[in-house]
Amino acid sequence: MNPLMHSMASRLLAGMLAAISALHLYWAAGGHWGIEAAIPRVGGKTLFQPGTVATAAVAFLLAIAAAGVLTPFDPWLKKQFLRTMALVFALRAIGEFHYVGFFQQASDSRFAYWDTRLFSPLCVLLAMMAAVASLDLDRS
């Protein structure tokens, strides 16, 4: 694929990953907007408390993923990269059947509310865009 002719799915995927990366970077820098809804809670207690380094690492990985979507490299490797990304986001949407994902059992928290209505559907969308972007490589 010509690096200047990325599919619409690739461009949208990269843009969304970059935006999510920026939000994690904001949190790593001490920002608070939205953080209450982003951490799973049970009975009012957080299941984990991500530190600055962990949050910055997530931001970094999301930025690398966004760059990887648009960076030209071997088509076979890029297809595997996109398929892996699709699988990771699909698995995140499904969740681990207790606290995260569409099949979560804990539903009494702000995180559970937003996970069902925004985070998990967003992961489905990201998975679908990564899958479409990988298929677009076959057509170029």
- How do the domains of the chain map onto residue ranges? 8-31+48-139
Token pair belonging to 134: 């990988």
For the whole prediction, is pTM greater than 0.75?
Answer: yes
pLDDT digits (tens, 9 = 90+) for 65-107: 999 999 988 989 999 999 999 999 999 999 988 888 898 887 7
Q: Nearest Cα to 35, choosing from 50, 14, 57?
A: 50
Q: What is the pLDDT of residue 129?
A: 94
Alpha-helical segments (H) within the chain: 8-28, 35-38, 52-70, 75-94, 110-114, 120-139
